[in-house]
Chains A and B, each alone.
Chain A
Amino acid sequence: MKDKDLFARRLSPFVSIFFGFLIGFLLLLILGYNPLAGFAFLFEGGIIGMPAGDLRQFGNVLLSMTPLVLTGLSIAFAFKTGLFNIGVAGQMLFGGFLAVAVGNRMDLPRALHLPLLLLASMAGGALWAAVPGILKATFRINEVVTGIMMNYIALWGVRWFSGRFIPGSDVMTSAPIRETATLRALWLTNLFTRSNVNYGLFAAFAACLLVWFILEKTTFGYELKAVGFNQHAADYAGMKATRSILYSMLIAGALAGLAGATHYAGFSDRLTGLGWLPSQGFDGIAVALLGLNSPLGVLLAAFFLGYMNIGGAYMQIMARIPAELVSIIVSTIIYFAALSQLIEGWLKKWSNKNKRDGGAL
């Protein structure tokens, strides 16, 4: 039973994605667009130009997935400890704010400036996650409520602080960071034909590896998982559950903050869209679900989402499908991805039934 359940679990994200495509396909058909052409553009969008040596579109996919890997990882990591870190958006924004502040206000050589910017982003995210973390660990206050509230505090707090300390051309943007602090690198930009692919991608890969290592190989990860699965047993075994909860939130926050750095100091070079919460914070939930909370899964799921973003934009231009509709289709696919647990249940039932029918012969 166990092997088959594992199989159903691994298969479920793919079946979910298939259903998502199916609904998107039907939607296009009903609304009078040519779904085949539309989907061809959707798939082509991420790799177009590649044979001719133009890696710009593929670079943009990598660019788009970078913060998603980190936000997805942040949520997946917290999940493992039994926490739902819904405050990723706020942590990402605040981490990004500190990063941009360091990048703009400080004048340092590149070898110092960039690492300092990254550290600042992680510290910012961790700080923002510490508040729900401490409240959860010491007073058992639900981290979902406090996380959502921290999102709003970050949203308006960052807008105000940004306007005061690093004002940009309008209230929606901040001043740019200095050249010495950027995550972008000329060789990467050249390699991917003017795409803004940046060091953030490597940071995301490294984070995946690190999280996997912590969870699977260290006593610290063992403790975190024990607390996440059964806090009573952790207490009985003499583990400090409150400390584990706090550490888990801090690490999740740092990952989210790092996502902020890759977004605001790599994808762009300043804070943008102030007045909105970064959508990656919430897309991260879908990434974690689709990736079954495992680091490798998160990586694949983020790639998929990034591909959909870029392919969707291409589909919009080439097939003249309105942007709204493209968003709906991409969201439908992600929506089904989030239903992967439901589909996992169906798969299990289906495979059990198959076995029974087979057994009766």
Chain B
Amino acid sequence: MWQAFQLRLAKNKKYSGNHENSNPVQASFKGLHWIFCLNEKPGNSGFMDPASFSYSQPQFFAIRRIPLLSFGQYKNIVFLKGAGNAMAYEIEMLNITKVFPGIKANDNITLQVKRGEIHALLGENGAGKSTLMSVLFGLFTPEEGKIKVRGKEVNISSPNVATELGIGMVHQHFKLVHNFTVAENIVLGLEPKLVGGRIDLKKASERVSAISKKYSLEVDPGAKIEDISVGMQQRVEILKMLYRNAEIMIFDEPTAVLTPQEIKELMGIMKQLAAEGKSIVVITHKLKEIKEAATRCTVIRKGKGIGTVDVATTSEQELADLMVGRSVSFKVEKKQANPGKTVLEMLNVTVVGHQGKNLLKDLSLSLRGGEILGIAGIEGNGQSQLIEAITGLQSIKSGSIKFDGKEISGLSVRKRTEMGIGHIPEDRHKHGLVLEFSVEDNLILQTYYRGPFSRSGILDRLAIRKQSEELMERFDVRSGQGSVSITRGLSGGNQQKAIIAREIARSPKLLIAAQPTRGLDVGAIEFIHRELIKERDKGRAVLLVSLELEEVLNVSDRIAVLYEGEVVGVVDALKTNETELGLMMSGAKNGGGTHEG
């Protein structure tokens, strides 16, 4: 193309010759890159050395002559557009190094994202993916390295600068105002105004509708955020970026909070956005999703850039091995379960919610020592209430819950914990941890009042430190300053490992694991699954509640399916499959598999 352009210019006498030119001006406009070159006089050549562009082969678009009346001359403006070129990097992060005390979060990492591609950023929890993206979004300043956006070196000192450069980010935890409407959230900060400064809500919702139509991202502009699903909230975040004319979109673990259906939709949306010329960076550790959506993938391991690979020619196994740095097994290896006596027996349990709705209806379940019972179901079908009823966070209206043969439905949370119920909570930030506490203080959250951690009300710091160091070592909890690190500073995976360490260390007879691998990478998932199976093999009862069918199928021995607060069936994990479970999850009683009484 470039040669053709030169040829064309050469043919046109007016543009031949080799004279001085003004500096080329690059700009982004209408989703394309334009390079303008002004000729001082007619007769000057209208092009520059291709090497001076970051887009090595700009396409010729048009030459316009603009009369300059004051000089009685013409000025020629050459329009070149640089889209869809192989070398057109939208963002280049070159040799980025970011150091925190005690930890080199990013160590000489290079990330180059092309226009219109979906670029996956793959790495274990705590590998430094989020740090790298925070650098790009202006939240952290790197110690070394430079960032180029559309070929120009930039200094992104704050998120505002990033927004101006057309960089948008969807954070893992959405930044939305819950009692505002969709439209209000999208225009927040850039509201269309009426006379007198009032917000023009009509115009706002029109604009939102226009954008959502353009990208076929359907939303109800008038709905309140608190009333819409998580998937819809994410869509609002995407529209927020589009409203701000983002060209580069960063998604931080976007599928962690979504249902399988919503994940499928998101993949579609991302592909479509990429086709529109947006550049997308997805932080993730879900290999399947990378294979499905991404074109290229940059792998980071323990803060170091491992390399960039072409997704189409790299297998999932290879990606996983690259990420973890060793060979990873996807199969959950376990022996036949050897169930002992019944540990948990729930009979006709009913739980009523705030609005008087039955959240659990006449639910009966039994769980024996030495087995893993998986709870499958679509989110919001009573899983949370089931867990809370067993742990004592929620009282039941009727029915009975027997643990180890004793009725526990009237007992306090602490009593039940002391009897031997361990609980890996669904929401680690809300329930699992006091984020302001140090790691060692979080590891004694249920045991602080007992020996060896305290004697007659006085904490024994030495014993606390000793346990913490042992557990952090055994469960590979990584933190900047060891036991005294503030928990908030740990990566999500390490926070989760700390919780699992704490719960397993208490050696409970019943371990409730709610979404134990949510948001974790394959290495950590493998580890946690192995720990759960180890607990089972020690003769303990494990209740695994998960929204990921694959996890339930792979880890459990038996599977109970919840639908609208009822158990629609209990099946043998070896004799069922995703299709059958899927049917049962949508309410079809006993999908035809082995039904246990």
Q: List the interface of chain A (C-beta within 8 A of B).
A: 1-4, 217-220, 222-223, 225-226, 229-230, 232-239, 352, 355-356, 359
Contacts and interface: CB of A to CB of B under 8 A. Distances in A.
Nearest to A3: B101
B430 A217 contact: no
B349 interface: no
Nearest to A353: B141
Contacts of A235: 393, 413, 431
Given A1-B101, A220-B457, A238 B446 contact: yes
A223 B446 CA distance: 10
Contacts of A234: 434
Contacts of B412: 238
A233 B459 contact: no
A171 B454 CA distance: 53
Contact of A222 (B391, B435, B459): B459
Given A232-B430, A237-B446, A356 B141 contact: yes
Most buried by B among A217, A223, A352, A355: A217
Nearest to B103: A1
Contacts of A4: 101
B434 A230 contact: yes
B434 A226 contact: yes
Contacts, number: 82
Contacts of A217: 458-459
A230 B393 CA distance: 15
A238 B457 contact: no
Interface string B386-416: 0000011100000000000000000011111
A305 to B, nearest CB: 28
Given A1-B101, A219-B448, A236 B413 contact: yes
A2 B430 contact: no
B578 to A, nearest CB: 32
Nearest to B480: A2
Contacts of B459: 217-219, 222
Contacts of A355: 141, 143
A352 B141 CA distance: 8
Given A219-B454, A238-B413, 10 more contacts: A219-B449, A220-B457, A226-B434, A226-B437, A229-B435, A229-B436, A229-B437, A236-B413, A238-B414, A355-B141
11 contacts: A2-B101, A4-B101, A217-B458, A218-B459, A222-B441, A225-B434, A232-B430, A234-B434, A237-B413, A238-B415, A238-B416
Contacts of A222: 441, 448, 459
A235 B433 CA distance: 11
Nearest to B502: A237
A355 B97 CA distance: 14
Interface in B242-260: none
Contacts of B481: 2
Nearest to B445: A237
A225 B481 CA distance: 22
B458 A233 contact: no
A36 B314 CA distance: 75
B431 A232 contact: yes
Nearest to A235: B393
B91 interface: no
Contact of A219 (B100, B141, B413, B457): B457
A2 B486 contact: yes
Interface of B: 100-101, 141, 143-144, 391-393, 412-417, 423, 425, 430-437, 441, 445-446, 448-449, 454, 457-459, 480-481, 486, 489
Contacts of B446: 237-238
Contact of A229 (B100, B141, B144, B434): B434
A233 B431 contact: yes
Nearest to A4: B101
Contact of B423 (A3, A218, A236, A356): A236
A223 B441 CA distance: 11
B525 to A, nearest CB: 23
A217 B453 CA distance: 11
B441 A233 contact: no
Nearest to B449: A219
Contacts of B432: 233, 236
A233 B430 contact: yes
A238 to B, nearest CB: 3
B218 to A, nearest CB: 34
B144 A233 contact: no
Interface centre among B100, B393, B434, B454 (most CB of A within 10 A): B434
Contacts of B454: 218-219
A74 B474 CA distance: 42
B457 to A, nearest CB: 5
A226 B433 CA distance: 9
A314 B39 CA distance: 77
Contacts of A225: 434, 437
A229 B438 CA distance: 12
Contacts of B415: 238
B445 A226 contact: yes
A3 B449 CA distance: 30
A236 B393 contact: yes
Nearest to B433: A233
B375 to A, nearest CB: 19
A1 B445 CA distance: 26
Nearest to B105: A1
What are the 4 tightest A-B residue pairs by CB atom distance, in nearest-first order?
A: A238-B414, A238-B413, A236-B431, A237-B445
Contacts of B433: 230, 233
Contacts of A230: 430, 433-436
Nearest to A359: B143
Most chain A CB within 10 A, of B143, B144, B486, is at B143
B485 to A, nearest CB: 8
A351 to B, nearest CB: 12
Contacts of B101: 1-4
A232 B435 CA distance: 12
B439 to A, nearest CB: 13
A2 B141 contact: no
B148 to A, nearest CB: 16
Contacts of B449: 219, 223
A232 B457 CA distance: 23
Query: Which of A223, A237, A355 has most chain B Cβ within 10 Å?
Result: A237
A60 to B, nearest CB: 38
Contacts of B391: 236
B445 A218 contact: no
A182 B186 CA distance: 66
A87 B277 CA distance: 60
A218 B435 contact: no
Contacts of A3: 101
Nearest to B442: A233
A136 B480 CA distance: 38
Contacts of A1: 100-101
Nearest to A227: B434
A124 B437 CA distance: 34
A229 B433 CA distance: 10
Contacts of B480: 2
A223 B457 CA distance: 11
A226 B449 CA distance: 13
Contact of B434 (A2, A233, A238): A233
B457 A218 contact: yes
A1 B101 CA distance: 6
Given A233-B445, A235-B393, A2 B144 contact: no
A94 B437 CA distance: 36
A274 B437 CA distance: 44
A234 to B, nearest CB: 8
A177 to B, nearest CB: 36
A236 B417 CA distance: 10
B417 A238 contact: yes
A223 B414 CA distance: 13
Nearest to B417: A238
A229 B437 CA distance: 8
A158 to B, nearest CB: 36
Of listed B412, B414, B446, B449, residue having the most chain A CB within 10 A: B449
Contacts of B430: 230, 232-233
